[in-house]
Amino acid sequence: MIEFLMPSLGADMEAGTLIEWKKKPGDTVKRGDIIAEVETQKGLIEIEVFDEGTIGELLIPEGAKVPVGTIMALINPSGIALASKEDKIPEEKPIAIQPIEERISEPISEQKTEEIHIKASPLAKRIAFENQIDLSQIKGTGPEGAITKEDVEHAIAQSGKTGKEKNEEVPFETEKPGTPAEAIRTAVAAAMSKSNREIPHYYLEKRIDMTHALAWLKETNNKRSVKERLLPVVLLIKATAQSLTEFPDLNAIWDEGLQQKKDINIGFVVSLRTGGIIVPAIHQANLKNVDEIMETLNDLIPRARALNLRSSELSDSTVTITNIGDGGAESVFGVIYPPQVAIIGFGSISEQPFALDGMLGIRSSVTVTLAGDHRATDGLTGSRFLVSLNSHLQNPEAL
């Protein structure tokens, strides 16, 4: 049996709430399939499975708060017959995972006590409670006749209710740390506090001439439709990824020692409109061309701002890039996101006095900073990395 564990979606995460299973016992799964939805401080996250096989048993009921590392499900590896699994798991076993009222930390009124025997997911019960819907009047369409959230939403639509009353007190909400923006800030604060406590940072900066790179970008975009045009940030991401192949100690994590990572998954800082930041991963950025990176950004950024990311997009980053963008500060000194060992910051690209070949002129330039973990690397490694980054940006055609 393969044990499927509650994943860690960042240094700040200790637990998540299982909202809904997307698979049931007997279903086949493969790498990348969504097995569950989990609610964290960073929103509702789709949790992926990274093994192939058949779901044997779901061990956690929907609605339960699950600590990181907890076994959530058992998966029979590919090649093991389902019949052998059924010998060990009786047919009635799935009934045991149906949600029960005691697993939800909510006050149970006298009226709700009468509904305990009704099979319904915790999310369905929550929606019904908030909208004063009588579950006993709803016919469930889920497994074993369980009432699903869709059943409750259908009942709400039929009743004409638009949502909970303005002054109604809902005990579930008191358990949450305020708005999504507040929750995100709480998560970031926890991670950054941990970083400052545990990581001995060193900082380096280098000003890089972007004139040739921007000229190449302009020429390239003139040949493209508006939808196919590239932004300068794709060159920064690609050049960073290429340089990291030469300095693998920066593409690593610190966990009782330095652990280099084979894949270069660049975490890209996205600012949220409601405040705070979130950092989804651009997987295998070194293997993507600039068009593929642009396509990835066009997909990731809207989903990140909608707090609709997959677990791998939140947990797989091996190094982080923060980019101020046009018209902002000239430089940014980042704080390393543990357990990573480096963060690269790009300030705003602007026209500045720049000495080139003994002549002083005005060039488009960007200030690049590197914050490194001194346990993993030193200033010499960091400096050489910035020199390599500059070299790649002077040859955008090769990117």
Residue-wise pLDDT for 32-84, tens only, equals 899 999 888 777 888 988 889 999 999 999 989 888 889 999 999 876 544 44
Q: What pTM value is reported for the model? A: 0.66
Per the model's pLDDT, the better-predicted residue between 173 and 236 turns out to be: 236
Dihedral of alpha carbons 112, 114, 115, 116, sign: positive
Smallest Cα–Cα separation from 315: which of 71, 51, 47? 47
Cβ 211 vs Cβ 364: under 8 Å: yes
Confidence of residue 129 (pLDDT cuts 50, 70, 90): confident
The whole-number average pLDDT for the span 156-182 is 52
Coil, strand or helix: which one is 21?
strand
Pick among 3.10.310.50, 4.10.320.10, 1.20.1600.10, 3.40.960.10: CATH of 101-175 = 4.10.320.10
Domain 2-97 identical in fold to domain 181-398: no
Q: In the prediction, which pLDDT does 373 show?
A: 97
- The amino acid present at 254, given as its one-letter code, is W
User: What does the domain layout of the chain look like in residue ranges?
Assistant: 2-97, 101-175, 181-398
In this predicted structure, which of 145-149, 269-273, 363-367 has the lowest mean pLDDT? 145-149
Q: Quick check: 147 pLDDT over 90?
A: no
Q: Which of 128-142, 152-166, 187-201, 244-258 is modeled with the greatest confidence?
A: 244-258
β-bridge pairing 258-260 and 266-268: unpaired
In this predicted structure, which of 28-42, 60-74, 110-124, 361-375 has the lowest mean pLDDT? 110-124
Percent pLDDT > 70 in the chain is: 82
Q: In the prediction, which pLDDT does 178 show?
A: 55
CA 341: distance to chain centroid?
Answer: 18
Q: In the prediction, which pLDDT does 179 show?
A: 63
Residue-wise pLDDT for 264-315, tens only, equals 999 999 988 877 889 999 999 999 999 999 999 999 999 998 888 888 898 8
Residue 168 to residue 215: CA distance in whole angstroms: 59
The whole-number average pLDDT for the span 159-177 is 44
In this predicted structure, which of 109-118, 131-140, 150-159, 282-291 has the lowest mean pLDDT? 109-118
Q: Note the CATH architecture for domain 181-398.
A: 2-Layer Sandwich (3.30)
Pick among 3.40.50.10800, 3.40.50.970, 3.40.630.10, 2.40.50.100: CATH of 2-97 = 2.40.50.100
Strands (E), 43-157: 43-48, 53-58, 65-67, 71-77
Per the model's pLDDT, the better-predicted residue between 245 and 307 turns out to be: 245
- Angle (nearest 5°) at CA 331 between 328 and 333: 120
Helix ranges (DSSP H) in the chain: 82-88, 110-113, 122-130, 149-159, 180-198, 211-222, 232-244, 290-305, 311-315, 379-393
Q: In the prediction, which pLDDT does 386 show?
A: 98
